[in-house]
Structure 1
Amino acid sequence: MKIKKIKIENYRLLKQFSIDLEEIMSLVIGKNNTGKTSLLTVINSFLNGSDKSRFSFDDFNIDFKNDLRALIEGELPQEEDYKSVGIKLKLFIEYNEADNLANISRVMMDLDPKNRFIVLGFEYCMTYESLVKIKQKYAEFQANEATKLAGDENYRKRDIFYFLKVYQGQFFKSSRKSIEYNRIDEIENEDKFIDLDEEKISTKDIISFKFISAKRSVTNKENDKTLSGQTSEIYNETEKTDEQNEKIEQFKEELISTDYALSEIYETLFEDVVEKVRLFGGIKSNDSTIKIESSLQHRELLSGNTTVMYKHNDTSLPEYNNGLGYMNLISMIFQIEILIQEFKKKKDEKPADINLLFIEEPEAHTHPQMQYVFIKNIKSLLDQGIVREDGDNRKLQTVITTHSSHIVSESNFDDVKYLKKEDENNVIAKNLVDLKKQYETDLTQYQFLKQYLTISRAEIFFADKAILIEGDTERILIPTLLKKIDKVEERRYAAMEEKDTKLPLSSQNISIIEVGAYSQIFEKFIEFIGIKSLIITDLDSVGDDTKKCRVAEGTSYSNDALKLFFNNATLNQLKAFTIDDKKIKKNGEVWEVEVNGNLCVVYQTMENTVNARSFEDAFIQINREFINGRKEDFRGLKNREFFDVATNDSYKLAEECIRKKTHFALDILYHTNEDFTNWEIPQYIKEGLLWLK
């Protein structure tokens, strides 16, 4: 039995949200403020929270708040046309022939063996009756506000949102249901349900939910005993074997013996202070006489009596001497162990059918290598499930949220769920495995993309924007180009005595991805993640013999990405395109020009009456003087004397004078002045970066 899907309505950014869960582990990723923590809190509020403190007005989605205002301020709808509105959570639970159906039998709406689903619905909603009452209450509130305003012209009138913050708790009520579900059409029939509250049916035996929050208490201050305290919790929660119980009895006997010995020592040790207390006297003799005794056997075993030490060479050091990263990792493993013991329940109780564990941001305080180690090992740990001594074992279903590209890179591609903002008030979840369907015509491309993203460039999932580049030259230079653009724009706005309202490029969350000659393979992925992306590529002109040549002599081009994104446009058409022609958007299977498109593809353009073929060609064309003055110091050059011949154009110099492209790029960086003013950015890159900004 497992949770197959979760749907959420009107909770913060989760307006109409749906996410699929994997059987063992689901890795939920996305940028900041895309609802990862909200997913945790709404589940916890419904499954573990109390009715009184469940939700506040600020938990409502912003669009829903406006809908609620319109509903309260507008005409009262007919009761038959009204559906309860509010925050909703639906858990789609799938079962199979091997599962024990005892706990879910009372909530099953369909006995068709092909429809092995139950849908549990949890709601915090306003009924029709409550709508009538809240409209009456709001009318009274408005009348009261009008009276106050008439009596005091300086009175600040309070609006409906203030009213709802104060009173919404009186009109929204929690409820639990089992909802009829059509598996074939994947539709929930909310008009047909079992009222779990009315029938007094508990869901605690069906699903148990626990979590490890990102706000963990572990520190490395000297008085911190987080790990030591957790060992006591693990002990108290762990189911004991007969052998362990025998050892515990031996432990207790040793404690009793130690108590006798310590009590005798205490009698001498505290003799003076005991006598001082006795001298204060009382109503009768010995009224204020005290005795200090050892009571180890009466204390909770291990509670406060254990210290986690760690080994350093041949020495044991206390836990607070360890780094925060290690302490966080150890603490998390301890917490997982504690929660697994809680999932097991006591001997006379049965574990729930579904045990859902949520781990929030395990990467806190840990360096990349440790993050790799964590994600590599966590799945095997979770895969062990919940193992009891009596053989009643259950699976553990886990959701992990992360901002770490290192964790993503070591994860199974099929486990990843990508959260993306559709608009300011709504987030959607995408399964990365669904990308496979879009690459059905060429699964080799999908395999390449899958390997490349998980091994090399997972940070793109957490970026606001992306730059896809061809090779090492651009990779080395792009950060400097961003800074140079920022400097140029800063000076331009200063000259106009205006303020640039756009954030500097170097301060934006931009991921730079090296894709070589494969940017066309990333086409579906770019569309999938939906972030603003710039592709910087080369024109790659060729002649009739398909060999590379100057753009002026070319009859075609060999760049497959340009053929894809510009629908096999001719070389002459590409040369004539303006920057607006290079802003595009996917329409069906075809990329079309769209000024407001999310993708821009740039390549060399006409500059100083010459259209370059490559970056090196374009750079030399407009920065020949910069290179000439330093050519002896440029380690990436050969045939330096060619620069002295005026008739040698930039194409010839790029082809015959550059020893190694990466060294040439490093030469540019090394000889750049502090203000980035002694060379120019090729026009095509400048246009692309300004568009991205």
Structure 2
Amino acid sequence: MLLKEITIQNYRKFKNESFSMADDITLLAGANNSGKTSMINLIASIMQNGKTPFYISDIPVSLSKQWVDEVYDTFICCFSKYEDKLSTVERIVSKLFSTESSSLKCDLIIPATSIRFKIDYYENDDIRKFADFIMDLNPNNKSFYFEYSFQPTNISFGQALEDNYKKLYARYKKIQSLEDPTSKVEQFKEVILSIYEASILEKCYFSDSNYLDKVEIEVSTFRRLFNFKYINAGRPLDDQSNGNFKSLSKNMVELATHNEKLGALLEDLPDQILSPIQDAKIIDEVRAASVTGLSNAIKTIAKASGGNTGSMILNIDINEETITSLLNQITNTKYQYEGYVLNEASQGLGYSNMIYILLQLETYKRRIDPLLVNLFVIEEPESHMHPQMQRIFGKYLKDYYLQKKIQGLITTHSGEMVRITEMKNLRVSRPLNHLESKIYDFSTFKKSLSGDTTLDTFYDWFYEIGFSDIVFADRVILYEGDTERLLIRKLLTLDTYEELNQKYIAYVQVGGAYAHKYSKVINFLKIKTLILTDLDYKKDAATVEAVEESETTNATINSYYGESKGKKSPTVLDLYKWKEKGENELFGGLALVSFQGETEQYARTLEEAMLSKFYKFNVLEKKDRNFWIQQRIADKLIYTVPNPVKPKRDDSNTDEKYSIRDIVKHTENKKTDFMYSVILKGLIEKMLPNYIKEGLEWLQK
């Protein structure tokens, strides 16, 4: 039995989100405040014993606000009839609930919060515990469908309204008596919402595949179908001897009791301990002492109760349970290292966290029941671990789940955990705004690549290199080289880009030949992305006319232009116009391809654009060699001025004029040094090309 799909509707930040579950381990990644923890806590509450805590705040705030605003007039209208309490309650309930049934298909009730579970089985699985929940008799359908919902009925809502009627009616009277009742209106609405919360009932159903034909079952019946274990992020780790700590010691004792030899020993141990105690007549002495010590108190109590109080004694009861408890109290986890014995707490929380999780997994493995859905959930296993340890432990966890055939769900905000997980097993929770999040199922993304071997291979490679940064990012910047990275990093420390610097930005270094391959993931994750690339037209284009007629060799620009305009080989002039019209903004505003435009004065690279901006002439214009030498000394910039070409014997003239392009060409091996000199001399704003400035301003919006 395997849990194959979970759908969450109208719960906190999730309006209607589904994600599939892998047969082995599913990784749910997301930044803080993306909703993953609250969702896992809800699933844990549903699958474990006890009433699931559910509050009005668990309903998406947009839904609850819309509902209370809509029904406000209904409540006011019903109260204005000045009928008695029961009549008013009945009138309100009849307005909100169209029928006496609990089908709840009524516009004046907040759509139910529901969690749906699709459970699959294989041909050779024993389904005796699930057989009663078969809705579809199609032999090809090997799935069970369950829905767990939270919503009031007309009866529960009416009862809650009766219980809070006095408070609500008092708010109504205040509204009627004030000239400006704004604040009291809000208080009135708050009471309505509290009534709604008090009336919410949790119910469980099994259903057909469309979740339309449903049969209610007991909540306890549903929970008995799962063997569920949940380790939350707030797990205790210290090995303290006080209170409820010594977590590793207790777990190791519990695990050790499954050992056959130790189990047999524990069975015999009570008798072995009890025998010498009996021989020494310790039990008789304890009983006698207890009677003597309590005799006065017993006599006093006996008088008050008619003399019918029996004698009270202390007794010694030694059994397997008390021996295990004793082992828990007297046993401590130690680490042996080169002849030294260290306490549990000496190893640090990261190590203790790892051992604790492994002990829980090993204990759980022994309790797996093939007749149930076995699911082991770990919240943020990377807690207290440094990145390398996260990676090693994450890989071990992955292998462990596979070897032991345990289905698991792990939540994380660790890039290392993402890297060691296959893309098809990754699910990502991302906030769309402050009120809503979406879950992206990368098993579907991976399937979408299956028809393109080249792209599929590219994403396998990219996944291991830089994909995890994109998963958690608010914004993405794709750039070409080290100089771009240095420039952008420094720029984002400026006050101008303070708002952008507060966001989590993924910096992905990628050449112009590959940047366009990121289109699919940008579109899939709906993440705002700036693509900084070079115009890269032919280097030998030495005149304005030649430049404008030249074609770019940049595969990314050609690809995006071709998709936008239907022309595969645009000229530089075509690209200038494309950019000027804003057509380089792609995917409905998700991405911007930013490259050197007309304002960069025919520059084809970043360095050319920077020097052109600083010296205020185009990259084709030539200057005397002495000009470049003097400027380099004055500005203290690092770039190479070419040496003059030696003249032939019959030619005494030497061409000593060089363009910006010549300077950049000869500085090819010192690009990083050039950028360092720009930054260290504080010239970064004066030399900032417009195409980068415009791109960052777009990304900041």
Mark yes or no: TM-score above 0.5.
yes
User: What is the CA–CA distance in structure 2 between the aligned matches of 1:418 and 1:217, rounded to whole Å?
Assistant: 27
Specify the code of the residue in structure 2 equivalent to 1:477. L
List per-residue Cα deviations over 1:390-440 (Å, max 9, x = no partner). Answer: xxxxx5321111111111111111110122334543333222232234435
Kindly indicate whether the alpha-carbon contact (under 8 Å) linking 2:536 and 2:605 is maintained by their aligned counterparts in 1: yes
Q: 1:124 to 1:646 in 2, by over 3 A?
A: farther
Q: TM-score, normalised by structure 2?
A: 0.78
User: What is the CA–CA distance in structure 2 between the aligned matches of 1:239 and 1:454, rounded to whole Å?
Assistant: 41
The 5 Å alignment of 1:14-163 reads 14-48=14-48, 50-51=50-51, 54-69=53-68, 72-73=71-72, 74=74, 76=96, 78-79=98-99, 82-83=104-105, 85-130=111-156, 142-148=168-174, 156-157=183-184, 158-163=186-191
Kindly indicate whether the alpha-carbon contact (under 8 Å) linking 1:227 and 1:331 is maintained by their aligned counterparts in 2: no
User: Residue 687 of structure 1 aligns with which residue?
Assistant: 694
Whether 1:196 and 2:217 are equivalent positions in the alignment is: yes
Question: Does 517-526 or 422-431 show the bigger shift?
Answer: 422-431
User: What is the CA–CA distance in structure 2 between the aligned matches of 1:259 and 1:665, rounded to whole Å?
Assistant: 84
User: What is the CA–CA distance in structure 1 between the aligned matches of 2:487 and 2:128, rounded to whole Å?
Assistant: 64
Deviation at 1:255, TM superposition (A): 6.3
SS of the counterpart of 2:330? coil
SS of the counterpart of 2:400? helix
Kindly indicate whether the alpha-carbon contact (under 8 Å) linking 1:361 and 1:401 is maintained by their aligned counterparts in 2: yes
User: Residue 555 of structure 2 aligns with which residue?
Assistant: 560
Specify the code of the residue in structure 1 equivalent to 2:120. E
Q: TM-score, normalised by structure 1?
A: 0.78
Kindly indicate whether the alpha-carbon contact (under 8 Å) linking 1:411 and 1:454 is maintained by their aligned counterparts in 2: no
Deviation at 1:322, TM superposition (A): 1.6
User: What is the CA–CA distance in structure 1 between the aligned matches of 2:511 and 2:118, rounded to whole Å?
Assistant: 43
Specify the code of the residue in structure 2 equivalent to 1:613. R
Alpha carbon RMSD of aligned pairs, Å?
Answer: 4.1
List per-residue Cα deviations over 1:197-220 (Å, max 9, x = no partner). Answer: 3xx971234223221111222248
Kindly indicate whether the alpha-carbon contact (under 8 Å) linking 2:236 and 2:245 is maintained by their aligned counterparts in 1: no
SS of the counterpart of 1:34? coil
Whether 1:236 and 2:246 are equivalent positions in the alignment is: no
Q: Say which of 606, 622, 634 aligns to 1:615.
A: 606
The 5 Å alignment of 1:445-464 reads 445-464=455-474
Q: 1:359 to 1:540 in 2, by over 3 A?
A: same
Kindly indicate whether the alpha-carbon contact (under 8 Å) linking 2:639 and 2:664 is maintained by their aligned counterparts in 1: no
Deviation at 1:50, TM superposition (A): 3.0
SS of the counterpart of 2:124? coil
List per-residue Cα deviations over 1:463-505 (Å, max 9, x = no partner). Answer: 100100112221233211222xx24x3xxxxxxxxxxxx8433
Question: Does 683-692 or 620-629 show the bigger shift?
Answer: 620-629
Kindly indicate whether the alpha-carbon contact (under 8 Å) linking 1:259 and 1:294 is maintained by their aligned counterparts in 2: no
The 5 Å alignment of 1:412-423 reads 412-423=422-433
Q: Say which of 647, 672, 675 aligns to 2:681.
A: 672
Q: 1:204 to 1:439 in 2, by over 3 A?
A: closer
Deviation at 1:379, TM superposition (A): 2.0
User: What is the CA–CA distance in structure 1 between the aligned matches of 2:276 and 2:663, rounded to whole Å?
Assistant: 88
User: What is the CA–CA distance in structure 1 between the aligned matches of 2:17 and 2:696, rounded to whole Å?
Assistant: 34
User: Residue 178 of structure 1 aligns with which residue?
Assistant: 206
Deviation at 1:194, TM superposition (A): 2.2
Specify the code of the residue in structure 2 equivalent to 1:508. K
Deviation at 1:171, TM superposition (A): 1.9
Q: Say which of 525, 528, 533 aligns to 1:529.
A: 525
The 5 Å alignment of 1:544-693 reads 553-554=546-547, 555-567=550-562, 568=567, 569-578=570-579, 581=582, 584-586=585-587, 597-607=589-599, 610-623=601-614, 637-639=639-641, 647-669=657-679, 671-673=680-682, 679-693=686-700
Kindly indicate whether the alpha-carbon contact (under 8 Å) linking 1:31 and 1:462 is maintained by their aligned counterparts in 2: yes
Greater percentage in helix: 2
User: What is the CA–CA distance in structure 1 between the aligned matches of 2:344 and 2:439, rounded to whole Å?
Assistant: 39
Kindly indicate whether the alpha-carbon contact (under 8 Å) linking 1:542 and 1:549 is maintained by their aligned counterparts in 2: no
Gaps of 5+ in 1: 182-186, 265-279, 285-289, 345-349, 386-394, 490-501, 587-593
Q: 1:672 to 1:259 in 2, by over 3 A?
A: farther
Kindly indicate whether the alpha-carbon contact (under 8 Å) linking 1:205 and 1:351 is maintained by their aligned counterparts in 2: no
Kindly indicate whether the alpha-carbon contact (under 8 Å) linking 1:225 and 1:319 is maintained by their aligned counterparts in 2: no
Whether 1:315 and 2:340 are equivalent positions in the alignment is: yes
User: What is the CA–CA distance in structure 2 between the aligned matches of 1:173 and 1:233, rounded to whole Å?
Assistant: 37
User: Residue 231 of structure 2 aligns with which residue?
Assistant: 212
Which one has the largest radius of gyration? 2
List per-residue Cα deviations over 1:622-641 (Å, max 9, x = no partner). Answer: 33599966569989744466
SS of the counterpart of 1:303? helix
User: What is the CA–CA distance in structure 2 between the aligned matches of 1:548 and 1:254, rounded to whole Å?
Assistant: 97
Specify the code of the residue in structure 2 equivalent to 1:525. V
The 5 Å alignment of 1:184-333 reads 187-188=210-211, 190=212, 192-197=213-218, 202-219=221-238, 228-236=246-254, 240-248=258-266, 299=323, 300-333=325-358
User: What is the CA–CA distance in structure 1 between the aligned matches of 2:485 and 2:222, rounded to whole Å?
Assistant: 54
Whether 1:383 and 2:402 are equivalent positions in the alignment is: yes
SS of the counterpart of 2:65? helix
User: What is the CA–CA distance in structure 2 between the aligned matches of 1:259 and 1:462, rounded to whole Å?
Assistant: 63
Gaps of 5+ in 2: 75-94, 283-292, 298-312, 616-626, 645-654
Whether 1:505 and 2:500 are equivalent positions in the alignment is: yes
SS of the counterpart of 1:575? helix
Whether 1:481 and 2:477 are equivalent positions in the alignment is: no
The alignment covers a number of residue pairs equal to 618
Question: Does 200-209 or 120-129 show the bigger shift?
Answer: 200-209
SS of the counterpart of 1:335? helix
User: What is the CA–CA distance in structure 1 between the aligned matches of 2:104 and 2:477, rounded to whole Å?
Assistant: 49
Specify the code of the residue in structure 2 equivalent to 1:535. I
User: What is the CA–CA distance in structure 2 between the aligned matches of 1:231 and 1:171, rounded to whole Å?
Assistant: 44
Kindly indicate whether the alpha-carbon contact (under 8 Å) linking 1:482 and 1:689 is maintained by their aligned counterparts in 2: no
Whether 1:361 and 2:352 are equivalent positions in the alignment is: no
SS of the counterpart of 2:664? helix
Specify the code of the residue in structure 1 equivalent to 2:482. D
User: What is the CA–CA distance in structure 2 between the aligned matches of 1:108 and 1:560, rounded to whole Å?
Assistant: 54
User: What is the CA–CA distance in structure 2 between the aligned matches of 1:20 and 1:512, rounded to whole Å?
Assistant: 29
User: Residue 496 of structure 1 aligns with which residue?
Assistant: none
SS of the counterpart of 1:202? helix
List per-residue Cα deviations over 1:234-257 (Å, max 9, x = no partner). Answer: 433666354333344676688679
User: Residue 80 of structure 2 aligns with which residue?
Assistant: none
Question: Does 210-219 or 91-100 show the bigger shift?
Answer: 210-219
User: What is the CA–CA distance in structure 1 between the aligned matches of 2:118 and 2:236, rounded to whole Å?
Assistant: 33
Q: 1:686 to 1:105 in 2, by over 3 A?
A: same
User: What is the CA–CA distance in structure 2 between the aligned matches of 1:515 and 1:119, rounded to whole Å?
Assistant: 45
SS of the counterpart of 2:208? strand
Identity of aligned residues (%): 24
Q: 1:49 to 1:253 in 2, by over 3 A?
A: closer
Q: 1:314 to 1:635 in 2, by over 3 A?
A: farther
SS of the counterpart of 2:328? coil
User: What is the CA–CA distance in structure 2 between the aligned matches of 1:448 and 1:281, rounded to whole Å?
Assistant: 82
User: What is the CA–CA distance in structure 2 between the aligned matches of 1:601 and 1:262, rounded to whole Å?
Assistant: 90
User: What is the CA–CA distance in structure 1 between the aligned matches of 2:541 and 2:163, rounded to whole Å?
Assistant: 78
Q: 1:248 to 1:64 in 2, by over 3 A?
A: same
User: What is the CA–CA distance in structure 1 between the aligned matches of 2:408 and 2:66, rounded to whole Å?
Assistant: 35
List per-residue Cα deviations over 1:97-146 (Å, max 9, x = no partner). Answer: 11111100111112221111111111111234456667788887553213
